[in-house]
Amino acid sequence: MARRKFTVWHYAVVLLLALCARPMFAATADKPDSNQQNGYQPVEWVELMPDDDLEALLNPPAYLDNIAEGSEADQIGNQAAEAAAKQSNDRYQQALTSTKVRPEFNQRKISIPGFIVPLAFDENMVITEFFLVPFFGACIHAPPPPPNQMIYIRYPKGLKLENLYDPYVAEGSLIVEGHKSDGMGAASYSMNVDNLSPYTET
């Protein structure tokens, strides 16, 4: 049997690990002030994904077992895969490119950790626009995550990023508003950022 090495498999593991936060969130979703830190609700990436998309990613189809590593079929997240997903009833492929959101998060003040994918720079090569994504290498070294797992941030203050693999925490108001960047993917969410700081484990 061919060995599966989809980027999405690594991503599915992240989703599984993040599931432990889902029950706690479900219990406090209608009480946004009950689980806040400094006025911002800590959010896991998996919480931004609708339940049906999450279920589809966590229950991949059997045909993935027969795809050889490095083959053309092993390359996901491209335009061909997106077109195939739209024309088929394959919920797994649809979930990989899903723009579906959780509207209850609109205008909610949240805190979320992630990695930065630069989109625009000023004249001093300081980042002024970027995607916040759940894992390192997304959009650059690997296919992009589903759009509902990406957040577009415009940051006029500017960020001087030393290393792409350094995670950050963004605090601000989440907005259900899409943004597409040629070659880097699309985000279903945007954020008005109040604070952006390096991530540190507590």
Q: How far apart are CA 4 and CA 158, in angstroms?
A: 39
Domain that holds residue 23: 7-96
pLDDT of 155 reads: 95
Q: How many domains is the chain partitioned into structurally?
A: 2
* Total-model pTM: 0.74
DSSP at 126: -
Nearest Cα to 29, choosing from 17, 44, 16? 44
pLDDT of 105 reads: 98
pLDDT of 22 reads: 43
**Maximum pairwise Cα distance, the chain:** 51
Of 69, 96, 123, the domain-final residue: 96
pLDDT of 66 reads: 62
pLDDT of 74 reads: 54
Instruction: State whether 153 and 182 are in the same domain.
Output: yes
Nearest Cα to 151, choosing from 115, 109, 189? 189
Instruction: State whether 86 and 118 are in the same domain.
Output: no
Instruction: State whether 71 and 119 are in the same domain.
Output: no
Per-run averaged pLDDT (10 residues), the chain, 202 residues: 38 47 39 65 94 88 64 51 57 89 97 94 92 77 82 94 90 96 90 94 68
- The enclosing domain of 181 has a CATH number of 2.40.50.870
Instruction: State whether 168 and 191 are in the same domain.
Output: yes
Q: How far apart are CA 55 and CA 100, in angstroms?
A: 13
Instruction: State whether 121 and 92 are in the same domain.
Output: no
Question: How many CB atoms neighbour CB 71 within 10 A?
Answer: 9
Helices 51-58 & 7-18 angle (0-180, nearest 10): 120
pLDDT of 25 reads: 35
**Structural domain includes residue 161:** yes
Taking a C-beta distance cutoff of 8 angstroms, is the pair 127, 155 a contact? yes
Instruction: State whether 67 and 136 are in the same domain.
Output: no
Residues with Cβ within 8 Å of residue 3, at least 6 apart in sequence: 69
**Structural domain includes residue 124:** yes
pLDDT of 18 reads: 47
